[in-house]
Structure 1
Amino acid sequence: MTGTVAPLDVSGTSATTGTASVAFTGTGTLVRFGLRRDRVRMSVWLLALTLGTLATAAEYKALYATPEQRAAAVGSMDSPAALAMTGPRHYLSDYTAGAMLGHQLLGFMAVLVGLMSVLIVTRHTRDEEETGRAELVRSTVVGHHAQLASALVLAAVANLALALLLALGLTATGIDGIGPGGALLYGFTHAAIGLVFAGTAAVTAQITAHTRGASGLALAAIGVAYVLRASGDVGNDALSWLSPIGWIQRTYVFVDDRWWPIALCLALAASTAAYGFVLSTRRDVGAGLRAARLGRRTASDALTRPFGFALRLHRATLLGFGAGLCLMGVMYGSILGEAADMVKDVEQVQEALARIGGSTVAESFASMVMVVVAVVAAVYVVMAALRPRAEESAGRAEPLLATGLSRNRWLGSHVAVALAGGTALLVLAGLGFGLAGAASAGDGGLVLDLVGAAVAYAPALWVTVGVAVLLFGWFPRAGAVAWIVPVYAFLVGYLGPILQLPDWMKNLSPFGHVPQLPAAGMNWTPLLALTAVAAGLILLGLMGFRRRDLETK
């Protein structure tokens, strides 16, 4: 345990008057250091969120260029299922391209901005304590609150930079319905919700002693906020007012341009951040307020085996993704019966669905959505496949491999969890999609069809695991490059049909070779080829891990 003691006041006056300033000593230095560490990570987040928004705005302009097309969009969005996935009905009163951004994109972006903010705060607080770096830093001239304060400042810098980029970028597009005032408000809604979830992470980082637990609690808060918002927009509006995501959507940006809901977000952000500082004084460095649960006297048989131990490490992440993908499947399935009406007047989307094929619009729509489901599952498998790198960097792999446990069995256990876990996520998402879709479309046969369509993407997930394992085995510092696979798959798989990208770009992604069930027929050849490629990549990764030195502490 370390701490900072106020200097002795030799003049006889009380030293407590400087306690507040002493507690924040070194904040500026830690902020500069954090910006230096996160310069690439933060830039990628900001560029991805900004470019994604600008691309969506341009897409709305192209898809809904005429008043008739926008009126058709209003009709397709004015249903309980569509409102649950988008936002409050009031946006439909003047459905310009800007109103579409606020209605259809703002809630989704709030989740991503919240994720960015949570990861920034937990990375610079709880992760620093868990790895022991915080204690080393606090042994110097650094106040007790400096680390949390610097993390919140970094989150604020990232969110404010995003707000300005969005405001300037949207203004520069010159799209009708997107003016400078609305663009500025749209940008600051992102900053406001980001600060709310940064404050939430400041609290959760004090509760648990583990980074994954702190991030998981904060991400659960984001999920609850989204569900409350969706429930309120469909039924009782009071539920939406319990959610900060509901607050920023009720700015009615590009429709009414109301600024005052942002004040609610700022008040909540300030309150949670202040509470985080208070809680930080009630625990030791490296500890959490929630006492660690006592385990059993002896480990279970599963924990004595590599696979069981790896599964225990991955359990929380796997359960979180399972709940999220099941909910995603149910939400998309709930509008499957209305798919034909939603796209009947949108020429570009109709053309994209026609290229996919299928006897009905519902089948084509389900095939397009399945790409998104598979990409989200790919995010999990990348995280799971790169978990050995985190274990190695933290020094936890070294004592395990110093025993009779071989490198192949240790790494293979994590790879097996990634392969099996990713496949299980596809089954769960397909089942939720199928059950909700069958209820929406009145076709019970969709359950098995959509589960099969989801499982068909399993070989592509296995290739993604193979890429991550190959990088870990031979080039461990370049492991983050594996994230290109799901990002590229989303761009060419989901946006490609709408943007009419050439086929050769689609073929560069393993997901581009999967038969687009249920619209297309089953073809086993590419699935077997992907499975063989995945096996080869994993074997090469295992070979590289055996040959290289282990990072030691």
Structure 2
Amino acid sequence: MTSATTTTATAPARPGPAAGRADVLAGTGTLIRFALRRDRVRLPVWVLALFLGTLATANSYQELYGAPEDRAKAAESMGSPASLAMSGPRHYLDDYTSGAMLGHQMLGFTAVLVGLMSVLIITRHTRAEEETGRAELLRSTVVGRHAHLAAALSVAVLANLLLAALLALGLSGLGVEGIDTAGSLLYGADHAAAGLVFAGVAAITVQITAHARGASGMALAVIGVAYVLRAAGDSGESGALSWLSPIGWVQRTHVYVDDDWWPLLLCLALAVACAATGFVLSTRRDVGAGLRPEKLGSPVASNALGTPVGFALRLHRGMLVGFGAGLFLMGAMYGSILGQAEDMLKDIDELQEALARIGGSSMAESFASMVMVVITVVAAVYVVMAALRPRSEETAGRAEPLLATGLSRGRWVGGHLAVAMGCGTLVLLTAGLGFGVAGAASTGDAVLLPKLVGAALAYAPALWVTAGVAVVLFGWFPRASAAAWIVPVYAFVVGYLGQILQFPDWMNNLSPFGHVPRLPAADMDWTPLLVLTLVAAGLVWLGLAGFRRRDLETK
């Protein structure tokens, strides 16, 4: 008799809920280390720049407003609605110590910068990874669905906590009257709270669109709306609109005045809610896709898209519209206080001295010349981003297929440069229009409109030199292309802060913006503008020559 042996296959046990939760975060630790390795230069530069800039500002307040009567005069000059819109809540003026000045005048501005840092961290390590195809490659291994977003948020948290710790230690160790340890801890926590909120916002925007630039643009638009709501609320009587803004929340801590911690709970709750929403939305789309469906394009490309300039303009149009609108509003905000410039600054001796060195027939013209540097630096940020677009196209692998056709290297890069330089000038014109229209309305002097538009356009050659520096780095030293950011940063530090802190003239001469006539206060001088134009042309030629000689980075 033959005995039959029956083998029963046993199904593998299904993982429980705990295992499922672990799987979706598999590889998060490795991705965090990888992100920190990639950002080993970028993050320290961001954090140290914010930290050192804050310390330098706190020291300058101590030097400029060391006496109680000087601070009282400054508080009086900052009490107008326009000044409060540019700074912060009126309650800081009740006890205007050096610490209160720091929280009043700097916190809203630096919260925007911290938000920008956080947004770029999230988009760089999530949507940009999907756009280049690296995320799909990693997800094919033992990497969970939520690992990329969790790693990006973790890096953003670490960066913001590091900044908060440095600010708390650095400010408390300055020994400046009015800047104590408890307030410094809150001041650092304010920055971390603002950064985490906008990191959470970016966690949502990266799910909506399939492109990193679109995700960054939407998140930056949220930052802009938050700033506008804060400004509108602080300039009003009730301040209700400020409570709709995370920037308003961190300023409502009244750091160095009342040291209220509870508004940070609102920031923490919003940050957690936004991050959780981002995780949920990520499960409702495919890798590389966005929740918002792509629009169907025309079956036939327009004639403009067949040219290098038209194609580059198509790629840059979103950023161009954003910067144009933002600079118009920025110019209008500064223009709205021109009529009050004399009353605002009459008791601030250091600013009076800086404005006297600039010259001008009126305080409004002198102040407008100083503010024009800030507006131009923001326009230079756009120019650097646009001029470095060929580098991002190259590293993403999109340049090689284009250059494999009949399109020459010079025409391809030249198209992006034409857009960077031409649209940079257009952005300047837009800022000048906003500045001029609002300035003419606030002063009642219609002549200011053409003067301020001309003053803005006078900086166009300096913007062209900035683009030239970027293309030289791209052509000859592509891995060092990010060094082009030194030009606008240096221009702001020396051209704006240097006027107040009285930096030596030779430092200003190292910046292309330092050679532009300080219109409308100064007389027009065409010679430096012609020289800057020739320098820009030489830099562009040199950069294109370098790009023709080197190999492409291929994927």
Could you tell me how far apart the structure 2 residues matched to 1:547 and 1:89 are? Answer: 59
Q: Give yes or no for the alignment of 1:170 onto 2:171.
A: yes
Partner of 1:218: 219
Cα distance between partner residues in 2 of 1:340 and 1:487:
28
Q: Which residue of 2 aligns with 1:518?
A: 520
SS of the residue aligned with 2:106? helix
Equivalent residue number for residue 153 of structure 1: 154
Aligned match for 2:273, one of 271, 291, 296: 271
Q: Deviations over 1:231-264 (max 9, x none)?
A: 1112252211111111111001111100000011
Identity of aligned residues (%): 73
Shift of 1:161: 0.3
Aligned partner of 1:337: which letter? Answer: G
Residue in 2 that maps onto 1:17: 18
Single out whichever of 228-237 and 79-88 deviates more from structure 2: 228-237
Q: Which whole-Å CA distance do the structure 2 matches of 1:360 and 1:190 have between them?
A: 38
Aligned letter for 2:389? R
d(CA) in 1 for partners of 2:152 and 2:36? 10
Which residue of the partner structure matches residue 4 of structure 1?
none
1:12 deviates by 4.5
Please, what TM-score do these two structures have when normalized by structure 2?
A: 0.97
Report Cα offsets for 1:422-468 as digits up to 9, x if no partner.
Answer: 10111111111111111111111000000101100000000011111
The equivalences for 1:222-233 within 5 A come to: 222-233=223-234
Cα displacement (A) at 1:17? 3.3
Q: Deviations over 1:370-391 (max 9, x none)?
A: 1111111111111111100111
Q: Matched residues in 1 for 2:469 and 2:296: separation?
A: 38
**Which SS does the other structure have where 2:428 is aligned?**
helix
1:39 is paired with a residue whose SS is coil
Equivalent runs, 1:244-259 vs 2, <5 Å = 244-259=246-261
Matches within 5 A, 1:86-165: 86-165=87-166
Give 1:46 deviation, angstroms. 0.4
Q: Which 10-residue stretch deviates more, 137-146 or 415-424?
A: 137-146
- TM-aligned CA distance change 1:169 to 1:278, over 3 Å: same
**27-36 or 124-133, which deviates more:** 27-36
Counterpart position of 2:187: 186
Tell me how far apart the structure 2 counterparts of residues 427 and 512 of structure 1 sit (CA, whole Å).
19
Does 2:367 match 1:365?
yes
Task: Please give the secondary structure, in 2, of the residue aligned with 1:241.
Answer: helix
Once the two structures are superposed, what CA deviation does each residue of 1:150-185 show, in whole Å capped at 9, x if it has no partner?
A: 000000000000000000110011111111000000
Match of residue 300, structure 2, among 282, 285, 298: 298
Q: Deviations over 1:376-427 (max 9, x none)?
A: 1111111111100111111111111111111111111000001101101111
Gaps in structure 2 of 5+ consecutive residues = 1-9
Q: Normalized against structure 1, the TM-score is what?
A: 0.97
Determine the C-alpha separation between the residues in 2 that align with 1:441 and 1:159.
42
Structure 2 counterpart of 1:456: 458
Q: 1 CA distance for matches of 2:433 and 2:309?
A: 26
Deviations 1:103-155 (A, max 9, x none): 11111111100000000001000000000000111122111111100000000
> Mean alpha-carbon deviation: is it higher for 490-499 or for 208-217?
490-499
2:480 aligned partner = 478
What letter matches 1:26 in structure 2? G
* Counterpart amino acid of residue 242 in structure 1: L
For 2:15 and 2:481, the matched residues in 1 are separated by: 53
Equivalent position SS for 1:372: helix
Distance in 2 between residues matched to 1:308 and 1:344, nearest whole Å: 50
Q: Which amino acid aligns with 1:175?
A: V
Q: Could you tell me how far 1:11 is from its partner in structure 2?
A: 7.0
Counterpart of 1:219 in structure 2: which amino acid?
L
User: Of 447, 450, 454, which residue of structure 1 is paired with 2:449?
Assistant: 447
Residue aligning to 1:63: 64
Q: Counterpart of 1:30? A: 31
1:206 and 2:195 equivalent? no
- Superposed CA deviations along residues 65-100 of structure 1, whole A, max 9, x for unmatched, are 122211111111111111111111111111111111
- The amino acid of 2:342's aligned partner reads A
Whole-angstrom distance in 2 between the partners of 1:238 and 1:158: 31
Aligned residues: 545
User: What SS class does the counterpart of residue 295 from structure 2 fall into?
Assistant: coil
Please say if 1:335 is aligned against 2:350.
Answer: no
User: AA paired with 2:196?
Assistant: L
- Alpha-carbon distance in structure 2 between the residues aligned to 1:249 and 1:410: 46
CA distance change for structure 1 residues 10 and 50 in 2, over 3 Å: closer, same or farther? farther
**Are the structure 2 counterparts of residues 12 and 509 from structure 1 closer, same or farther at C-alpha, using a change threshold of 3 Å?**
closer
Question: Highest CA radius of gyration, 1 or 2?
Answer: 2
Q: Deviations over 1:477-534 (max 9, x none)?
A: 1111111111111111001111111111111111110000011100000000000000
**1:266-415 aligned within 5 A:** 266-415=268-417
Look up the SS of the partner of 1:173 in the other structure.
Answer: coil
The root-mean-square deviation of aligned C-alpha atoms, in Å, is: 1.1
CA offsets per residue over residues 256-315 of structure 1, 9 Å max, x none? 100000011000000000010001111111111110011111111111111111001011
1:438 aligns with 2:440: yes
2:263 counterpart letter in structure 1: P
For residues 279 and 306 of structure 2, what CA distance do their matches in structure 1 show?
A: 40
- Structure-1 separation of matches of 2:15 and 2:59: 62
Q: What is the CA–CA distance in structure 1 between the aligned matches of 2:265 and 2:84, rounded to whole Å? A: 25
Distance 1:358 1:299, change over 3 A: same
For 2:408 and 2:13, the matched residues in 1 are separated by 64
Distance (whole Å) between structure 2 residues aligned to residue 354 and residue 210 of structure 1? 48
- Which residue does 2:52 correspond to in 1? 51
Counterpart amino acid of 1:285? V
Change (3 A) 1:552 1:257: same
Residues in 1 aligned to 2:14 and 2:316: alpha-carbon distance in whole angstroms: 55
Distance in 2 between residues matched to 1:516 and 1:13, nearest whole Å: 73
What amino acid maps onto 1:111 in structure 2? V
1:74 aligns with 2:80: no
Q: Specify the alignment match of 2:497 in structure 1.
A: 495
Moved over 6 A (4+): none
Structure 1 residue 10 displacement after superposition: 6.0
Deviates more, 1:496-505 or 1:176-185: 496-505
Aligned equivalents of 2:49, 2:18: Cα separation in 1: 45
Distance 1:508 1:526 in 2: 13
- Quick one: distance in 1 between partners of 2:261 and 2:12? 50
Deviation at 1:13, TM superposition (A): 6.5
Distance 1:12 1:315 in 2: 53
2:552 is matched with which residue: 538, 550, 553?
Answer: 550
Does residue 531 of structure 1 match 2:533? yes
Counterpart AA for 1:33: F
Cα deviation for residue 16 of structure 1 reads 3.0
Distance 2:111 2:385 in 1: 22
Shift of 1:15: 2.6
